[in-house]
């Protein structure tokens, strides 16, 4: 079976990749050209089901697609640094005889340029013109950065990684060089993609155990006979057998409303959209039995997967009725699936274990706080943030912050007032990012 690879780039990049791709018959490649960042998303959406992975040849397009986050397939890109940057600089120094101070850069991080110059033993002054690149930065703004420097006589040439910026600069009469992927980097990327694909196959074959806990007796005030209870269990079991067939698994009932489904990681990954959503399951929707919670465990053995599943079920029940959680083989926990406040955290961490000893706060709770910071993309949180994402009472969140504050891990840095009529909320800087 060949690996279906979708390649997105402009003509210049695609031509280089096509030269190398013949060396890799394991891939069936489809090429797509684009004009705007929105084109990248449209292409992925249109051909997602016909590809196994994507290779985005422009770093700008890759970052845009990553931020969009709508692809279920692996996204790869070829870094425009190292050999690619060295090749461009050598061309400039040899053909144009320019100094590094005469050039402006975009997309390539400032630290990479400094590192590259140091490795080439090139001396440079205090000023290197590098555009502060963000994925939200419009292409016109990147062009304008180079053009203004050139027009004001501060540079003699521009270096860009973006094909459209090169075209715009050439049209304006600015001497411009484009960083393109070198063949060595392309070969290395094909090797990495082949390896990742095969690792994914192995990973998808891992054992997965799903444990459901149901409330079989819906009316707590009604007195049930043993026959009635047994009949309710049979009806629920029949529905779960149908579900188990869908995920190519087998069912095991253990009593007290608990049922285990043994399947593979790949089957559950598919039905949950890569462990992001709760699947729409016809058998459950038509059931009068209420799902208390669901835990999914992944493991290298059935025992490990089952242990992780029961751990996930325990965490899921803390989030309320019908919650789904998953514990992976590396003990990373994700969930609740399908919720906006979905977190990824761990029950195990040496660094967090030390903080746990100082604060008497569990490693899992500390890891959840790190997950909230990653979700909100800030290290400044309020007690309300903790309460909302961790599904706990505000007073419990305040107690957690108080313990962290006593140990110098949470530092009050200000207030926020999201509701003009409400009381201001204290904001704390959480020093957990390095843990």
Residue 196, domain CATH: 3.40.50.2300
Q: Which of 339, 367, 389 is the last residue of a domain?
A: 339
Residue with tokens 């208390």: 292
Enter the DSSP assignment of 155.
Answer: -
- Asked if the model's pLDDT at residue 247 lies above 70, the reply is yes
Each residue's pLDDT tens digit, 123-163: 776 678 888 767 778 889 999 999 999 999 999 999 998 88
219 located within any domain? yes
Confidence of residue 260 (pLDDT cuts 50, 70, 90): very high
Tell me the average pLDDT across 87-101: 84
Coil, strand, or helix at residue 8?
strand
435 located within any domain? no
How many whole angstroms separate alpha carbon 212 and alpha carbon 296? 9
How many whole angstroms separate alpha carbon 288 and alpha carbon 290? 6
Domain extent, residue 358, equals: 345-430
**CATH number of the domain residue 314 falls in:** 3.30.70.270
Using CA atoms in the order 47, 50, 52, 53, what is the torsion angle rounded to 10 degrees? -20
Q: How many CB atoms sit inside 10 A of residue 20's CB?
A: 16
Positive or negative, the CA dihedral 81, 182, 38, 147 is positive
Positive or negative, the CA dihedral 78, 274, 197, 18 is negative
Q: Name the nearest CA neighbour of 30 among 45, 17, 41.
A: 17
Same domain, 196 and 209: no
How many whole angstroms separate alpha carbon 165 and alpha carbon 176? 9
DSSP-derived pairing of the beta strands 258-264 and 250-255: antiparallel
Q: Kindly report whether the global pTM for this prediction surpasses the value 0.75.
A: no
Residues 6+ apart with CB under 8 A from 94: none
Number of domains the chain is built from: 4
399 located within any domain? yes
Coil, strand, or helix at residue 252?
strand
Each residue's pLDDT tens digit, 194-228: 999 998 888 889 999 999 998 876 655 565 677 77
**CATH number of the domain residue 122 falls in:** 3.40.50.10660
Residues 192-230 as b/e (b if ≥16 CB within 10 A, e otherwise) read ebeeebeebeebeebbbbbbbbbebeeeeeeeeeeeeee
Same domain, 351 and 421: yes
- Asked if the model's pLDDT at residue 420 lies above 70, the reply is no
In the structure encoding, which two tokens stand for residue 13, read together? 């990049």
Mean per-residue pLDDT of the chain: 86
How many whole angstroms separate alpha carbon 197 and alpha carbon 208? 20
The reported pLDDT for the residue numbered 363 is 84
The reported pLDDT for the residue numbered 33 is 92
The reported pLDDT for the residue numbered 5 is 96
Same domain, 262 and 335: yes
How many whole angstroms separate alpha carbon 232 and alpha carbon 354? 48
Complete edge-to-edge strand list for the sheet that includes strand 74-77: 27-33, 3-9, 53-56, 74-77
DSSP-derived pairing of the beta strands 380-381 and 343-346: unpaired
The reported pLDDT for the residue numbered 256 is 79
- Asked if the model's pLDDT at residue 287 lies above 70, the reply is no
């Amino acid at each position: 079976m060949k690996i279906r690879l979708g390649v997105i780039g402009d003509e210049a990049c695609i031509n280089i990749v096509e030269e190398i791709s013949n060396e890799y018959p394991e891939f069936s490649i489809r090429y797509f050209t684009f004009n705007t960042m929105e084109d990248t998303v449209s292409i992925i959406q249109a051909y997602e089901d016909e590809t196994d992975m994507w290779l985005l040849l422009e770093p700008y397009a890759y970052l845009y697609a990553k931020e969009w986050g709508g692809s279920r397939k692996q996204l790869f890109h070829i870094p425009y640094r190292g050999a690619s940057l060295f090749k461009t600089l050598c061309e400039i120094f040899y053909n144009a005889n320019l100094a590094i101070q005469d050039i402006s850069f975009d997309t390539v991080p400032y630290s990479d340029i400094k590192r590259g110059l140091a490795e080439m033993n090139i001396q440079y002054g205090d000023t290197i013109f590098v555009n502060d690149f963000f994925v939200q930065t419009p292409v016109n703004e990147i062009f304008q950065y180079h053009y203004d420097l050139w027009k004001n006589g501060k540079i003699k040439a521009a270096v860009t990684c973006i094909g459209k910026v090169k075209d715009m600069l050439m049209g304006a009469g600015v001497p411009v060089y484009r960083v393109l992927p070198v063949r060595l980097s392309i070969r290395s990327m094909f090797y990495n993609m082949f390896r990742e694909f095969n690792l994914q196959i192995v990973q998808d074959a891992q054992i997965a155990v799903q444990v459901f806990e149901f409330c079989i007796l819906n009316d707590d005030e009604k007195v049930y006979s043993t026959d009635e209870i047994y009949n309710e269990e049979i009806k629920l079991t029949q529905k779960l057998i149908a579900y188990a067939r869908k995920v190519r698994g087998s069912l095991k009932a253990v009593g007290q409303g608990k049922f285990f489904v043994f399947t593979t990681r790949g089957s559950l990954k598919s039905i949950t959209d890569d462990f992001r959503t709760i699947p729409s399951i016809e058998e459950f929707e038509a059931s009068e039995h209420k799902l208390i919670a669901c835990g999914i465990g992944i493991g290298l053995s059935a025992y490990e997967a089952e242990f992780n599943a029961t751990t996930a079920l325990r965490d899921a029940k803390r989030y309320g009725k019908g919650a789904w959680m998953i514990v992976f083989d590396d003990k990373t926990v994700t969930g609740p699936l399908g919720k906006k406040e979905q977190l990824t955290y761990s029950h195990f961490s040496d660094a967090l274990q030390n903080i746990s000893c100082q604060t008497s706060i569990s490693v899992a709770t500390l890891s959840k706080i790190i997950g909230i910071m990653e979700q909100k993309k800030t290290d400044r949180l309020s007690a309300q943030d903790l309460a909302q994402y961790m599904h706990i009472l505000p007073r419990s969140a305040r107690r957690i912050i108080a313990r962290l504050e006593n140990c110098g891990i949470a530092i009050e840095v200000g207030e926020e007032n999201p509701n003009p009529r409400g009381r201001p909320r204290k904001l704390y800087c959480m020093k957990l990012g390095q843990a």
